[in-house]
Structure 1
């Protein structure tokens, strides 16, 4: 139906909304959001009415043939007519999700509620009235049919509120943001207790649910169900199949994207549990057999099932080698390497970077599993924003779409709050299929900030330029884990007396060179990283100094937080490397001071997390178990104690006597008045002042 102007609809005060008499649970949730949005913006709670009601300014309903709404899943449109004295707007959906998307599109366009209003602490403008031009509208078809989030490594969400597993209070804002972003599927969490609310609520809010590639069909892990048994399908197929049958029975009436897969326990290749599968042919044949069995079991119990196979890790390699046979109607899901590049992921030091996209002659349907946050105990970003540029995200996703991988897009969204900007870029891409990153950053900044837009845009765009480039590839950019996992490995290698040999766990980052050179290679990169992040933070602080209070709080949480966390980690790791250099020269007091500097720098990271826990975000970062800044501090403190033993032991008085005690006291002091050892912090601070003034640092 073409655009036609009837007249202008004006909404103010208490708005009357006619709603369907028979409700979907998903629409009930969307109406709850709409009521809250109206009350926030207009200051009055709208009145919901059922049945014929001529005074209703808005009507929300399922499409009828006369409406000319596109006949496809999730379609919606806006229609206007003069059914009474005043114009009337109708939000019409083809199905329940069509109505949900129509309601949320109305809220965004006319009430100003942005997709991440909750996670970005959007300041909601209060209005006395809303003017709506009466133009008919049909929503375009999204580029990607199945699009959603994997709420993975979600420790912040777990630790944020008291109940475990997380309650509705935690999950509702997650699923609301996903729906407002146009998403329609979710993996709600990682290995959470099966009695939690997460799956039930996702279905209740209208989302398709899908599964982790390590938990095919969403079934219970074998070793949980059968502890003590060998997790071998060859030995006990009936036990595996009983778990699959149970999972199918539990979910057969839900909207499910069924993930077919066969990996071992703990997200590892299955042959770790059954080493008799020692060739690619044997492994591929078993995976093909299991997937076909799962496929047939679902097909016999579920009407019109949607199937997926995650081509992740070893399964991708076997499929590309021609060893895995898949049913034709299965969506093949290709994964990035965790750093946003559509190549195979790094396994320890092995980094083959095999292209992870369908070949030109590869038939069937294809989709993507993509990370804007990752946890790999190496260099990934977990607490901080994706370090790659918006142009990098654009290039990778648009190239994947061009290769035909556009039926499915699952984004690893982590804990949502730190990753709002990247998730918003992906929102546009899965909806439109392409993005103008310059236009997007303007829209994003103006949606969440009141002023100084151009300067804030520049900060978002230049953030990626400050990241440490630790390898030769464009995606070799350090996230927050780079400053912590390698640092803890280095300390362990050092204190175990292995410094005569390189640490093989660090070859991926600094090469197969002697350990002291590995440390020096880190030091050089970190030194440059400190300069980059200090410069970016200086620009950041100049802009933040101009912002009003609401924008200042938001920019501190969504921008400065990330740079400050990078700098604290960068400095902590740098001083750790400097400590090792002094240790090798047997300058133990200086090494002790540098280890203390390292610990103090890492402690700044905890302060940064704490400062971001204001208001509703109280406790949000308390479960930092993955980057785990506290663990790094504990490791460095252990190192510091180890270093003090070198020369200040056994009475922990010798360094005080040598460097700090007045010369007049050194030869006449009485032990009973001078043998109360200084604490590590006090000693380190005083030694730092001494060495700084005497040229010893």
Structure 2
């Protein structure tokens, strides 16, 4: 095909197909330099988009599409045919990728798009395969980067369009668009417009408003006020009953925690399981009364999975049971504070019915999860876990926690292949992924993806006990708080999940060792990355900075910051306050380097992307360590903040003859720390 392309859209142009046609129009403009012409007579078009007729031989399963070709003399026509809207959407995006070269994450990876004058077409008929997983999609969760990226709150259409487009290009068909965002936002409406099924957070069953938000000051007890809960559920059903909804039945407490934490009368598994079962059956009946052919799900998450496995929960026979990994990619129950049961989270062989999984390639848990950085586990590990889930029968549903999208491209693409194909070859996939988005030095880049996991800190005995970026920040702030609150005679019990039972001094030593290990391994990895960057320029260099160097530097600076922080405590414990002040300053400078690295990835359309880093919150860690070093300076340099200068830095010839009234301008913390650092280094 050459020249200006002509397209004939279907007569009945629903909003999902209209959106995908807009995408195709834009893609053609990017590649050919001219927009296509829209015509209304199929005979006048080179590309015909239409609903299938019987003679097309298009498969009848949901979302199937086919490509068919016709010849009329010299004229070639390509027909994209399907039986439903999503089928047409996937057909259009398939043509965009295979014929125009627009890959699923073109927007998020800043894919360089090749300009052409012609489009080469393979005239072989094509029939789309059946996806391995029936319902497959993303939970856009802990999405603070998307929230803070633009000025508008809740996030606008401008933010959500590329999210949903990428999901559709990955063959996804369902979404939870955000976490507890205001109902006035565009996110739900736009997802429906684009043809996606909607589903719900396990803490927001049926997509209903949170009880305590609707009834402020009331006790959030279903036992005390079932009619108030049911009123909220009924409102949610009425609002969504005409949309494609995967109804999540669940009952957790307010704030995504077990309900019995606020109601101690439920003090046995039997009582808890009976209440959850009763609520789920009530939700089930309410939906059944209002919705034709509903699709039900039950989130077996956390404590609900444990109760179900124990035989304490009864479920309706036709629900999809959703099993969840522990947030670190392992299909076992998640850690709760310091308790880590690691109960297998897959259905037993005799557990019939439909099953699916909720899986994380990013997580936020105030402990050791990855939020700003790539998933620290190996691709082979993720492949094994997801394929094992499929073997256990979990092929009806796969909800992937995708976080803020941009940081997690490689793993999102890997799971895309798994949910479509059911299996994949790690090395083949990696080579394909790198070749799509990195025009040069592909083998060196592929090797950085391969070795990323090897640089990660192992903080526990299990294969999934690998530290994400939050490991350097939440524990660090806990250590500082515990220290400055004067509680160092006892362990910080909020860190026993990592260190086990030990004293606070031993906790400091444990984190110091992990920081030392991480600093060594990540420094080597970052050095290799920076050697590659020295060979690149322009967009190629920026892409490697954004997707490889940045996560490596966050790990490197985080582990080094943690290392110096722990050594600062050790020095202060020996009352070497000047040395502790210097070490705390070194810690702060390291953490600040991580903060500055975020700024380097905020270019062009990505301006301000990381300004709402409120979860890992590197800026908060910098402030916390700065508070610590101010505290340390007060231990030996107060009240005039001149004592350390006089003791360590003033020339001997001046120490005893200087006039105080001419030497009373104290050095700033940074100036003093820099000079003291050089002094102590010379003394070694």
Q: Under a length normalisation based on structure 2, what TM-score does the superposition of the two structures give?
A: 0.99
Match of 1:124 in 2: 113
Q: How does 1:493-508 map to 2 (within 5 A)?
A: 493-508=482-497
1:23 equivalent to 2:5? Answer no
Match of 2:36 in 1: 46
Report deviation, 1:548: 4.4
Report deviation, 1:233: 0.7
Q: How does 1:49-68 map to 2 (within 5 A)?
A: 49-50=39-40, 52-68=41-57
Tell me how far apart the structure 1 counterparts of residues 153 and 265 of structure 2 sit (CA, whole Å).
40
Report if aligned partners of 1:54, 1:84 keep a CA contact under 8 Å in 2.
no
Tell me how far apart the structure 2 counterparts of residues 529 and 265 of structure 1 sit (CA, whole Å).
37
1:290 partner SS: helix
Match of 1:8 in 2: none
Report deviation, 1:546: 2.4
1:32 equivalent to 2:28? Answer no
1:315 to 304, 307, 327: 304
1:649 equivalent to 2:638? Answer yes
Tell me how far apart the structure 2 counterparts of residues 250 and 24 of structure 1 sit (CA, whole Å).
21
2:43 partner SS: coil
Match of 2:194 in 1: 205
Q: How does 1:272-671 map to 2 (within 5 A)?
A: 272-671=261-660
Match of 1:234 in 2: 223
May I ask how many residue pairs the two structures share in their alignment? Answer: 684
Tell me how far apart the structure 1 counterparts of residues 405 and 156 of structure 2 sit (CA, whole Å).
16
Q: CA RMSD in A?
A: 0.9
Tell me how far apart the structure 2 counterparts of residues 274 and 597 of structure 1 sit (CA, whole Å).
47
Tell me how far apart the structure 2 counterparts of residues 263 and 340 of structure 1 sit (CA, whole Å).
22
Report if aligned partners of 2:514, 2:559 keep a CA contact under 8 Å in 1.
no
Tell me how far apart the structure 1 counterparts of residues 163 and 507 of structure 2 sit (CA, whole Å).
41
Match of 2:131 in 1: 142
Report if aligned partners of 1:39, 1:45 keep a CA contact under 8 Å in 2.
yes
1:12 partner SS: coil
Q: Under a length normalisation based on structure 1, what TM-score does the superposition of the two structures give?
A: 0.97
Per-residue deviation, residues 58-81 of structure 1 (Å, max 9, x unmatched): 000111111110001100010001
Q: Which moved more, 1:86-95 or 1:380-389?
A: 86-95
Report deviation, 1:547: 2.8
Report deviation, 1:85: 4.2
Tell me how far apart the structure 2 counterparts of residues 141 and 121 of structure 1 sit (CA, whole Å).
30
Match of 2:235 in 1: 246
Report deviation, 1:549: 2.2
Match of 1:270 in 2: 259
Report if aligned partners of 1:182, 1:427 keep a CA contact under 8 Å in 2.
yes
Report deviation, 1:245: 0.5
Report deviation, 1:578: 0.9
Report deviation, 1:83: 4.4
1:170 to 156, 159, 162: 159
Report deviation, 1:273: 2.7
Per-residue deviation, residues 68-100 of structure 1 (Å, max 9, x unmatched): 100011000100012464111101112000000
Match of 1:216 in 2: 205
1:235 partner SS: coil
Match of 1:7 in 2: none
Match of 2:4 in 1: 14
Report deviation, 1:12: 1.9
Report if aligned partners of 1:54, 1:83 keep a CA contact under 8 Å in 2.
no
2:248 partner SS: strand
Tell me how far apart the structure 1 counterparts of residues 455 and 524 of structure 2 sit (CA, whole Å).
8
Per-residue deviation, residues 440-477 of structure 1 (Å, max 9, x unmatched): 00000000011221111111010110000110000000
Report if aligned partners of 1:55, 1:84 keep a CA contact under 8 Å in 2.
no
Tell me how far apart the structure 2 counterparts of residues 105 and 502 of structure 1 sit (CA, whole Å).
57
1:451 partner SS: coil
Tell me how far apart the structure 1 counterparts of residues 396 and 581 of structure 2 sit (CA, whole Å).
56
Per-residue deviation, residues 174-218 of structure 1 (Å, max 9, x unmatched): 000000000000000000001100000000000000000000000
Match of 1:6 in 2: none
Tell me how far apart the structure 2 counterparts of residues 83 and 21 of structure 1 sit (CA, whole Å).
23
Report deviation, 1:555: 1.0
Tell me how far apart the structure 2 counterparts of residues 525 and 232 of structure 1 sit (CA, whole Å).
43
2:323 partner SS: strand
Tell me how far apart the structure 2 counterparts of residues 650 and 150 of structure 1 sit (CA, whole Å).
53
Report if aligned partners of 1:143, 1:431 keep a CA contact under 8 Å in 2.
yes
Tell me how far apart the structure 2 counterparts of residues 528 and 72 of structure 1 sit (CA, whole Å).
52
Tell me how far apart the structure 2 counterparts of residues 296 and 96 of structure 1 sit (CA, whole Å).
30
Tell me how far apart the structure 2 counterparts of residues 238 and 539 of structure 1 sit (CA, whole Å).
62
Q: Which moved more, 1:533-542 or 1:310-319?
A: 533-542
Q: Which moved more, 1:611-620 or 1:643-652?
A: 643-652
Per-residue deviation, residues 135-192 of structure 1 (Å, max 9, x unmatched): 0000100000000000000000000001000000000000000000000000000000
Per-residue deviation, residues 522-576 of structure 1 (Å, max 9, x unmatched): 1112112111111111111222222342211111111111101111111111100
Per-residue deviation, residues 302-323 of structure 1 (Å, max 9, x unmatched): 0100000000011111100111
Report if aligned partners of 1:335, 1:368 keep a CA contact under 8 Å in 2.
yes
Tell me how far apart the structure 2 counterparts of residues 310 and 177 of structure 1 sit (CA, whole Å).
25
Tell me how far apart the structure 2 counterparts of residues 317 and 83 of structure 1 sit (CA, whole Å).
64
Tell me how far apart the structure 2 counterparts of residues 180 and 79 of structure 1 sit (CA, whole Å).
21
Report deviation, 1:387: 0.3
Tell me how far apart the structure 2 counterparts of residues 526 and 572 of structure 1 sit (CA, whole Å).
8
Tell me how far apart the structure 2 counterparts of residues 346 and 597 of structure 1 sit (CA, whole Å).
33
Tell me how far apart the structure 1 counterparts of residues 311 and 39 of structure 2 sit (CA, whole Å).
59
Per-residue deviation, residues 625-665 of structure 1 (Å, max 9, x unmatched): 00001111111011101101111111111001101111111
**Closer, same or farther in 2 for the Cα pair 1:29/1:278, shift >3 Å?**
same
Per-residue deviation, residues 477-497 of structure 1 (Å, max 9, x unmatched): 000000000000001111111
Report if aligned partners of 1:59, 1:91 keep a CA contact under 8 Å in 2.
yes
2:39 partner SS: strand
Report if aligned partners of 2:357, 2:397 keep a CA contact under 8 Å in 1.
yes
Tell me how far apart the structure 2 counterparts of residues 592 and 628 of structure 1 sit (CA, whole Å).
23
